[in-house]
Amino acid sequence: MIRPLWVIKLIRGARMQSEGSSSGKKTAVVIGALGVIGRYIVERLEAEGGWQVVGLSRRQGQDRPGVRYLSVDLLDVDATNAALAQLTDTSHVFYAAFQASAGAASGYASNVAANRDMLINSVSAIDRVAGGLQRVVLVTGTKYYGTHLGPYRTPSRESDPRHLPPNYYFDQIDWLTAFQQGKGWDWTELRPQTLCGFAPGTPMSIVPVIAVYAAICKELGLPLRFPGKLGAWRSIYQVTDSAHFADAALWAATEPRCANQAYNITNGDYFRWCNVWPRFAEVFEMPWAEPQTISLTAQMADKAPLWESMVKKYGLQPYSFEQVVAWPFGDYVFGSDWDVMSNVTKSRQHGFEAVVDTEEMFVRLLEQFRAQRIVP
Ligand SMILES: NC(=O)c1ccc[n+]([C@@H]2O[C@H](COP(=O)([O-])OP(=O)(O)OC[C@H]3O[C@@H](n4cnc5c(N)ncnc54)[C@H](OP(=O)(O)O)[C@@H]3O)[C@@H](O)[C@H]2O)c1
């Protein structure tokens, strides 16, 4: 049913009033809640207070006060409809589910069917039962601009044209914007770049790649060499701290100006690997040396037994090699021998002004990884 704009505004106003006057709690459904983005959004909402959080993924998370997890395969329409029928109180959806296709991470964007269908199945099921839904925050990424394909126009702006498909982001955005027409809720799309966090089991983050690679080199008595392309060593790059992204997601969910808008979300600065690499070697108390281009996926293929022995030797957390690190993701990031830069002015102008010092972030996260016994 298509409602006129004044009816939608009236309904929204009534919702906000009832939200303020009755329970005062908002209910967030975080889809993909155990991933390198979803985990941090759940924790951010928990820390914020005033939110009931429901996390969705196939694996079961650990329930705690204010946070509960539902285990569901979003590709199973009947199971999704059945499990999500209870989410009648949903006020906000954060969509950060993802299924990679096999092989190189640069090809992940072409895994269209699964990623489109998970969004359609979950958002349709929630829209059907949640009359008080206010906003759907969709996480896409800078692959929107073709960062994974080769050189592109930088710094990229949200209004830049798409690259030639396939890219599942396009299918997700097109479906969501069409589905939202005439509804009482709106959407916000966020485009981060190369997340920096930790999510065991879905390790699409560059920090565990650096940490485990450094630990293995050190164990083998080797210096820390940049394993990527020579051009990538000196190109300009950018990343997004997962915790910073979660701050942005909370802003995007609650800021009126974000209605039906897309935003680039990165740390807000740029760097070159050649400048930060020596800092990584310092954290791991090891020498560094000139780059040597290798395929991490190929060279690390036989290192699981070595990693298992290191887990025992150094009393590390008992994550398997596959749970802790995604080597194709490392090859993808370290293979970008072109500038990768987003313009984040729009998000700043609309109220999200936080920035992260990327060099400081890397050092902090790598030190945390050592302190938490994820790596020695
Ligand atoms: N990571 C990055 O560096 C990065 C950078 C830019 C953009 N992005 C984009 O951000 C989005 C989220 O990516 P991410 O890196 O956070 O992914 P991720 O760490 O791999 O997490 C994916 C989440 O989706 C869940 N999931 C996967 N298949 C599912 C299914 N069939 N049913 C229910 N849940 C399912 C996973 O849990 P289960 O496995 O337990 O189901 C997990 O919680 C993607 O579109 C990605 O392209 C990511």
Residue ranges covered by each domain of the chain: 5-196+240-265, 206-238+270-339+356-371
* pLDDT above 90 as % of the chain: 89
Contacts of 159 (CB under 8 A, 6+ apart): none
Between the CA of 256 and the centroid of ligand 1 the distance, in Å, is 26
Measured CA to CA, the distance from residue 186 to residue 21 in angstroms comes to 22
The pLDDT of residue 122 is 98
How many Cα atoms are found within 13 Å in the side-chain-facing hemisphere of 54?
A: 21
- Write the pLDDT tens digit of every residue in 326-337: 999 999 999 999
Q: For ligand 1, what atom is nearest to the CA of residue 74?
A: 32
Between the CA of 46 and the centroid of ligand 1 the distance, in Å, is 20
Measured CA to CA, the distance from residue 307 to residue 178 in angstroms comes to 47
* DSSP-derived secondary structure for 127-145: HHH-TT--EEEEE--GGGG
- Helix, strand, coil percent values for the chain (each to nearest 5): 45, 15, 40
| Pocket-testing residue among 42, 57, 170, ligand 1, by greatest number of atoms within 8 A of Cβ | 57
Measured CA to CA, the distance from residue 247 to residue 91 in angstroms comes to 18
- Write the pLDDT tens digit of every residue in 177-219: 999 999 999 999 999 999 999 999 988 999 999 999 999 999 9
| Pocket-testing residue among 118, 202, 265, 267, ligand 1, by greatest number of atoms within 8 A of Cβ | 202
Between the CA of 131 and the centroid of ligand 1 the distance, in Å, is 27
- Write the pLDDT tens digit of every residue in 12-30: 444 443 443 346 789 999 9
Between the CA of 252 and the centroid of ligand 1 the distance, in Å, is 19
Outline where DSSP puts E strands in 161-295.
186-192, 195-196, 224-225, 240-241, 261-265, 288-289
Q: For ligand 1, what atom is nearest to the CA of residue 108?
A: 47
- Write the pLDDT tens digit of every residue in 150-188: 999 999 999 999 999 999 999 999 999 999 999 999 999
Structure tokens at 267: 């740390």
* DSSP-derived secondary structure for 312-375: HHTT-----HHHH--HHHHHHHHT--S---B--HHHHHTT------HHHHHHHHHHHHHHTTS-
Please give the class, per CATH, of domain 5-196+240-265.
alpha beta
Can you say how many angstroms the Cα of residue 45 is from the centroid of all Cα atoms in its chain? 15
How many other CB atoms are found less than 10 A from the CB of residue 56? 28
Between the CA of 278 and the centroid of ligand 1 the distance, in Å, is 31
Can you say how many angstroms the Cα of residue 66 is from the centroid of all Cα atoms in its chain? 22
Q: Which residue has its alpha carbon closest to ligand 1 atom 45? A: 140
Q: Which residue has its alpha carbon closest to ligand 1 atom 23? A: 32
- Write the pLDDT tens digit of every residue in 40-71: 999 999 999 999 999 999 999 999 999 999 99
How many other CB atoms are found less than 10 A from the CB of residue 34? 22
Structure tokens at 245: 């992204």
The pLDDT of residue 23 is 61
The conformational region for residue 196 under phi > 0 = left, psi -120 to 50 = alpha, else beta, is beta
Measured CA to CA, the distance from residue 229 to residue 294 in angstroms comes to 8
Structure tokens at 151: 């050189």
111-118 CB contacts, 8 Å cutoff, 24+ apart: 111/168, 112/166, 112/167, 112/168, 112/171, 114/75, 114/168, 115/168, 115/171, 115/172, 116/168, 116/171, 116/172, 116/175, 117/74, 117/75, 118/31, 118/74, 118/75
